[in-house]
Structure 1
Amino acid sequence: MLVLTSVLSSIVVGYFGYRSGTQALEDSTRSRLQDVLDERASRVSALINNVSGGVVLDSQGVGPESMADFSSAYNQLARGTVNPADTAALTRYYNDYYAPRLQENVGGEINAEAFIPTSPARTYLQARYTVKATTETDTSRPVSDVDDAGDGSAWSAANKKWNPYWRAVRDSLGLDDVMMIDTEGRIVYSADKGTDLGSDVDTGELRDGALESLWREALRSNNRDYVAISDYESYQPAFGRPRMFVASPIGTGGDATGVLVYEVSSNAITMLTTGSGRADKVTGLGETGESYIVGTDGLLRTNSRELLTDPKAFAEQMRDNGASEETLDKMLRMKLAVGLLSAGPDVSEVAKQGDTGVAEMTDYAGHQVLAAYEPLDVEGLDWSLVATIETEEALAPVQGFARNVLLATAAVILLVCAISILLARVFTRPVGRLMNGVRAVAGGDLGTQVDAGSRDEFGDLATAFNDLSSNLAAKQELVDAQQAENSRILRSLMPEAVADRYQHGETTISAEHQNASVVYTEIDGFDAFAGKRPAEESLAMLKELSAGFDAAAHRAGIEKVRSVGTGYIGSSGLIVQRVDHVRRVADFAVDVARMVERFNVTNGADLVLRAGVHTGDVRGGLVGQGDMVYNLWGEAVDLAYRVRTVDGEPGIYVTDEVKEQLASAYDFEQVGTIEESPVWRVVLS
């Protein structure tokens, strides 16, 4: 009766609670999404309006005087001649720095020669500012805060006077650049000193673009308060990345002396729409949320979060949605979606109509999202701001609420049973913890600890178990450390492959090796040199030589047989078959000779190297009972040992067989014979 009453009561209360609760949660989610949208829209509108207001104020304030100084100075440079040294510096800059980065973004083949300045003023300015003061920013654009190139020109004097002010304007408004364009279309000043410094928007390389259009509009406006704004488009001096320009005339009507231009990157707007100050992190919209700007053409004006955070998944989604490979490749190269990525049919339609609302729709990646949208209050730009969050995440609180109602109902039904089960578990929990600990130790997880829990007998047993587990772990660490040390020592006494076989239980190891090479090296003079020094210093030098032997062996890829004092025996083609074993042992011997020379220079020593190399049949194996040593014997080993001293002088000596195989690699001179066969010494340069 209690269970039945509880079930009926829970169902009735849960039904009405579910109805009212889900509706309230849905309304709250939509309201929160709209609030985020309004806040982001306000930020974007404020930024663009601040930039617009700033360009008007500066064009009427310091603009006329600044324009006069730069225009006059630029005209002086324009009447000059091109310095061949400047052209050479710019040629290197455009070939080595500018063209590769532009090609990386836009793809295709870039002809750097087409961008190299030819006019005197542009060549002069870029050689002294763009090239000499170039660094890389997060957008890989050249940027210079140099106020004076120290060339004594009138332009540098004007830059020293005005550049700090315009740089402060650029930084305070978060701009990419501040430019001034004279009435002839020449960019007579740029705060960033990029490749657009000195360019011509009327007849030069920047014609037919947004910058030219704004320049003409501003000059024709005949209005001191006129502001012209361009939409984002690819800007070649920014390595093909999109830029927006805000311009205002300096002067009015027939008195206009030029145009002041503020350059805004897409990244600046993107960071506002994300709400986090970062282009790749969105705040206030959960795990799947995103806010972005869309133009009436349906293309994004800010970057895509998915493109920045997971380019591979983004590419797969775009291919599934039918995106062209050319456009996708460009987005992935630049990690930029501005002006390239379509917002999708649903979002594009509301942006085109300039609608406001909240609705479920499909976004650019094919996700089902809950989207809030509204047009931006920016004169001259037909943009809409969209804030989205995947429907599943947006409605997760509703689903969670329904789940909680069901769980609450079930909890009432099972309450009585749960109480009895919990009481039983209270008594068995300590035993369960101990059993889990025992299983962990049995599985190899030594050192496992369990919670003692209480101070009764179970607690004492848990404490004893923890002590046992800790002791086992400590002993295992000692065993592992000893095994590692034994393995290291063993590998220092014999080749690694032989050491592995010995560790696996083989005690009788021998083999015959055909066509292997052996090198005997010995450094003379160390005892006399080191005998005059303290034991610690002598030991350090001996370790340095030993380390040099091992490093040379590693570089040449030869196998160490053994080393004694300043002597070293190595082989190639013995354990690991190699077709170039002769060359390897010779390279090793030459490398050791260089090492000895460096040691002499560093330590003021006069050590010399004697080395012998021969190739042929070799036998090797473990020798000894208590102390196992790997040894080599055979004719090749004997000759390699004997040729070292055939001339009585230090050097690297090889038999005739070795010389024949190395004739093209080293120079040799004959120094004697052994068993009627010539012996050759390697001539070191």
Structure 2
Amino acid sequence: MSSAGATSTSPHRPSRWGLSAKLFTTLVLLGAIAVMVTGVLGYFRAREALEKAVFDQLTAARQTKTRQVETYFRTIQAELRLLATSKMVVDATREFRIAVDQLDRTGAPPELRQKVGDWYAANFIPQMTRILGREPALSDYLPVGGAPYYLQYHYIVENPNQGERRKLLDDAGDGSDYSRLHAVYHPLMRAAAATVGFFDFMVADPKSGRLIYTVQKEADFTTSLQFGPYRRSNAAAAVARCAESADRSAVCLEDFAPYAPSGGAPIAFMGAPVIDQGVVIGVLIAQLSNEEIDNVVTGGRRWRQEGFGDTGEAYLVGPDHLVRSAPRAFYENQEDYFAELKSVGTSNEEIAAIQRYGTPVLHQAIDTKATRAALAGVDGTGEIIGYRGVPTLASWGPLAIPGVNWGLVAKVDSAEAFAPINRLRRDLLIVGGLALLAVAATAAWLSRALLGPLRELTAGVKRFAAGDYAASVPVRTRDEIGQLCSAFNGMVEELREKNVVIENKNRENEQLLLNVLPAPIANRLRGGEERIADGFAEVTVAFADLVGFTALTSEMPPQEVVTFLNGLFTRFDEAANDLGIEKIKTVGDAYMAVCGLPVPVPNHAERMIRMAIRMVHITREHAMEHNVSMKLRVGVNSGPVVAGVIGKSKYIYDLWGDTVNLASRMESGSVPDAVQVTRAVYEQLKDQFVFEPRGAIEVKGKGNVEAWLLRL
């Protein structure tokens, strides 16, 4: 019984684990491994390459902005040293000191003091209340001494010009020696400040600490930085440092801090000693606003134009980890900016300070791995958690500016930086799944149909390889395997003739390849490159379609249709060749072309528009010559594309991407005998061609898209 049982089950085993099953399993496993290894390696290498490219771009942007900020300060320092050593500044400092001392000894009448106090109560205190969030004591800000009251009355309270226009008053007309000197020196000093770009330009007496002259005539005018309300300001620190040095090359820079006379705005002060006969008689002070630095770091709010995308930016931080330039979100969307600050745990006091002062500078703290390293003097790149609480790719480093310790960080959100990789991962999963299905189907078919005939064919090939040119194999089927066996039998006796034919065909195929593909692409194929796919950042694509062609040719013989269409497209090809435009393909009565690849050209949009104009005129002429009614509709778009070779036995060079799709939609949505373009084309050529706005048109998959018609 056991012997019979074994005999009954044995026929099933070869069917299950025979060569066909092994072949199928092996092919599927090999296919799966190949797809998985290729996909994983491709994904991680692409991610590494993209990450490196992003870091390189961020580092280049950071280094550029670092040089710009450092150059700005070197220029300011040189200008300040030059002015401090000029005869004008030395003479003005000496004479203003004498005039102010004289006014201090003379004093100021009580009624004049009262008017100055009333001005502070009506103008200055409300401003400080808004900034501080509480009303300060008036006595904390009133000047000390007779000269400040006297000069502030004549140059601030009674100044016919108020605000930033106070500097326009040259002579207060009070008859004092100070006003006489002011009428002489103020126009020169005001012009110097405007020329160099100082926010304010001041002279301090190092002996008394008094600001004996300012251009802007703010509330600090003639007050003492030693005993007055601003004795703890960074302006007082700059004067104190420079007063100790009789070195004409010395420059004292104090970091940004809120400055009450300037409305609490972030102000930095740079001082240079004014030296007369080896003695420091004054300190020349430049009042620097952070707006200039902010414009440099933010690129004039042109983040996208500078390659930072939607989330990238650069910002400065000081040793206190407070920003010295405002983050991008503050300028683009303050509502989202404050919401993000709250979401990452920023204190209400910090947010309230930013809102009161109208700037994050000196109020928003950014304490990250990048800012800590930059302030420690270390250059670097890496992925960090940014100040908005999201993963960020960043490049950081210090700035070489004597007197301050600043760091600069350039960053972009990881989600935006790796968006192309996420799309690649999705595409790899799709392609890998399709490839596995194809391998499984192929393996199943091969395991069933190929093994038997292939064994015989293999034996025949071995005999032929051994020199038996009369070898033949039996033809057992009429399918492809049978045809292969029959072809093998005929190959031996026709080998010489076939070799000659093959050589001729190779020459013909080479010529045909040059007709089908651009020469650079054909050369790459001949060089052994199998997968040709390139990305082009900026090209122009055009689609053209004959309006009324189907109705026109419905009653024409086929030969006439082909002759008519061939004549028209041949003229299109000649125009494309003249303009350096690459024809991609024709589908029926549609014509597709591109300019800017495979060899990039700078004026690809202009060339394609000229090509479109020619195509419209050629179509008109062709229709007149054949006495038919026919018009051309053209759509043009510019942007990035991917181009490559499709196929194995019949090559075609084709394009993909949103740029191609939108160009096709521009054609299908255009009007007969016209050229319709997108905003990308319009913005490049609006100064060279006349376009008529068509407004927003409905585009499948895109919604409403702006379009323009070229006036022909």
TM-score, normalized by length of structure 2?
0.53
1:292, CA displacement in angstroms? 1.3
* Residues 200, 286 of structure 2: 8 Å contact kept: yes
Which residue is equivalent to 1:119? Answer: 145
User: Deviation of residue 91 (structure 1)?
Assistant: 3.0
Distance 1:10 1:307 in 2: 47
Match of 1:219 in 2: 243
* 1:52 maps to 2:77: yes
1:369 positional shift: 1.3
Moved more, 115-124 or 188-197: 115-124
Contact 1:274/1:281 (8 A) holds in 2 = no
Q: Residue 325 of structure 1 is aligned with which of 343, 348, 366?
A: 348
Q: CA contact under 8 A between 2:242 and 2:271: conserved in structure 1?
A: yes
Whether 1:384 aligns to 2:436 is no
- What are the Cα deviations for residues 55-90 of structure 1, in whole angstroms up to 9, with x where unaligned? 211111132112123222222322333245543442
Deviation at 1:259, TM superposition (A): 0.6
Q: C-alpha distance in 2, partners of 1:305/1:202?
A: 39
Match of 1:65 among 91, 96, 99: 91
Q: In structure 2, do the counterparts of structure 1 residues 277 and 57 end up closer, same or farther at CA, with 3 Å as the change threshold? A: farther
Residues 83/218 of structure 1: CA separation in 2 closer, same or farther (3 Å cut): same
Gaps of 5+ in 1: 415-422, 427-449, 456-685
8 Å contact kept, 2:323–2:362 = yes
Taking the TM superposition and a 5 Å limit, the aligned residue runs for 1:482-501 are none
Verify: 1:210 aligned to 2:209, yes or no: no
Q: Tell me, what secondary structure is at the counterpart of 1:371?
A: strand
1:199 and 2:223 matched:
yes
1:297 aligns with 2:323: no
Q: 1:372 aligns with which of 395, 399, 404?
A: 395
**Deviation (angstroms), 1:291:** 1.3
* Residue in 2 that maps onto 1:554: none
With over 3 angstroms needed to count, the CA separation of the structure-2 counterparts of 1:413 and 1:304, relative to structure 1, is same
For structure 2, the residue ranges without an aligned partner over 5 or more in a row are 1-27, 438-586, 591-667, 674-712
Among residues 274, 279, 287, which one is paired with 2:298 in the alignment?
274
Change (3 A) 1:143 1:312: farther
Superposed displacement of residue 308, structure 1: 3.9
Q: Which residue of 1 aligns with 2:265?
A: 241
Call closer, same or farther: CA 1:208–1:20 in 2, change over 3 Å. Answer: closer
- Output one character per residue of 1:157-207: Cα deviation in whole Å (capped at 9) or x when no partner: 322322233223323333221110013211000011111101101122221
Matched residue SS, 1:301: coil
Distance 1:315 1:19, change over 3 A: closer
What SS does structure 1 have at the residue aligned with 2:128?
A: helix
Report the 3-state secondary structure (helix = DSSP H, G, I; strand = E; otherwise coil) of the residue aligned with 1:256: strand
Partner of 2:201: 178
Matched, 1:158 2:181: yes
Output aligned runs, 1:105-144, within 5 Å.
105-117=131-143, 119-131=145-157, 132=159, 135-136=162-163, 144=167
The one-character-per-residue Cα deviations of 1:121-176 (angstroms, maximum 9, x if unpaired) are 21222222223255456xxxx85232223333322232232223322332333322
Change (3 A) 1:276 1:378: same
Deviation at 1:296, TM superposition (A): 2.5
Match of 2:508 in 1: none
Partner of 1:82: 108
How many angstroms does 1:270 deviate by?
1.3
In structure 2, C-alpha distance between the alignment counterparts of 1:76 and 1:282, rounded to whole Å: 57
Q: Is the 8 A contact 1:355 1:375 kept in 2?
A: yes
Cα pair 1:186 1:199 within 8 Å, conserved: yes
Quickly say closer, same or farther: Cα 1:113–1:209, change in 2 above 3 A. closer
Secondary structure at the residue paired with 2:167? coil
Does residue 288 (structure 1) correspond to residue 311 (structure 2)? The answer is yes
Q: 2:404 aligned with 1:349, yes or no?
A: no
Q: Which amino acid is 2:245 matched to?
A: S
> Partners in 2 of 1:282 and 1:178 — Cα distance?
35
The 3-state SS of whatever aligns with 1:144 is: helix
Sequence identity percentage: 26
Indicate how the Cα distance of structure 1 residues 293 and 187 shifts in structure 2: closer, same or farther if over 3 A, else same: same
> Which residue number corresponds to residue 433 of structure 1?
none
The question of whether the paired residues in 2 share the 8 Å contact of 1:296 and 1:348 is answered with no
1-side partners of 2:198 and 2:305: how far apart? 22
Q: CA RMSD in A?
A: 3.7
Kindly state the Cα deviation for residue 384 of structure 1 after the two structures are TM-superposed.
Answer: 0.8
1:167 matched to which residue of 2? 190
Contact 2:199 2:289 in 1 (8 A): yes
Query: What amino acid is aligned across from residue 158 of structure 1 in structure 2?
Result: L
For 2:280, the aligned partner's letter is A
Does the CA contact (< 8 Å) of 2:140 and 2:229 recur in 1? Answer: no
1:379 positional shift: 1.3
Are the aligned partners of 2:155 and 2:166 in contact in 1 as well (CA < 8 Å)? no
Q: Output one character per residue of 1:195-253: Cα deviation in whole Å (capped at 9) or x when no partner.
A: 11011011222213322222122121231111111111221212222211111111179
CA displacement, residues 324-348 of structure 1 (integer Å, 9 cap, x when unaligned): 2222211111122222221123234
Distance 1:404 1:378 in 2: 48
SS at match of 2:195: helix
Is the 1:281–1:305 Cα contact (8 Å) retained in structure 2? no
Aligned to 1:593: none
Compute the displacement of 1:407 (Å).
7.9
Shift of 1:373: 0.7
Going from structure 1 to structure 2, the CA distance change for 1:8 and 1:102 (only over 3 Å counts) comes to same
CA deviation string 1:519-572 (max 9, x = no partner): xxxxxxxxxxxxxxxxxxxxxxxxxxxxxxxxxxxxxxxxxxxxxxxxxxxxxx
Contact 2:90 2:276 in 1 (8 A): no
Residues of 1 paired with 2:304 and 2:176: CA distance? 46
TM-score for the superposition, normalised by structure 1 = 0.55
Give 1:611-650 correspondences, 5 Å limit. none
Instruction: Show CA shifts across 1:303-333 (max 9, x none).
Output: 2332344333333332333332222211111
Q: Which amino acid aligns with 1:123?
A: Y
Contact 2:92 2:185 in 1 (8 A): yes
- Matches of 1:38 and 1:164, distance apart in 2: 39
Quote the Cα distance in structure 1 between the aligned partners of 2:400 and 2:276.
Answer: 27
Asked if the contact 1:220/1:253 (under 8 Å) is kept, the reply is: no
In 2: Cα distance, 1:403 partner to 1:379 partner: 51
User: How far apart are residue 20 of structure 1 and its match?
Assistant: 5.1
Letter in 2 for 1:65: D
Match of 2:49 among 19, 24, 32: 24
Contact 1:30 1:358 in 2 (8 A): yes
The code of the aligned residue for 1:77 comes to L
SS in 2 for 1:202: coil
1:82–1:118 Cα contact (<8 Å) kept? no
Give the Cα–Cα distance (whole angstroms) in 2 for the partners of residues 295 and 348 of structure 1. Answer: 9
Q: Cα gap change, 1:14/1:51 in structure 2, threshold over 3 Å: closer, same or farther?
A: same
Q: How much has 1:363 moved relative to structure 2?
A: 2.1
1:493 corresponds in structure 2 to: none
- Give me the whole-angstrom Cα distance separating, in 2, the residues matched to 1:451 and 1:383: 55
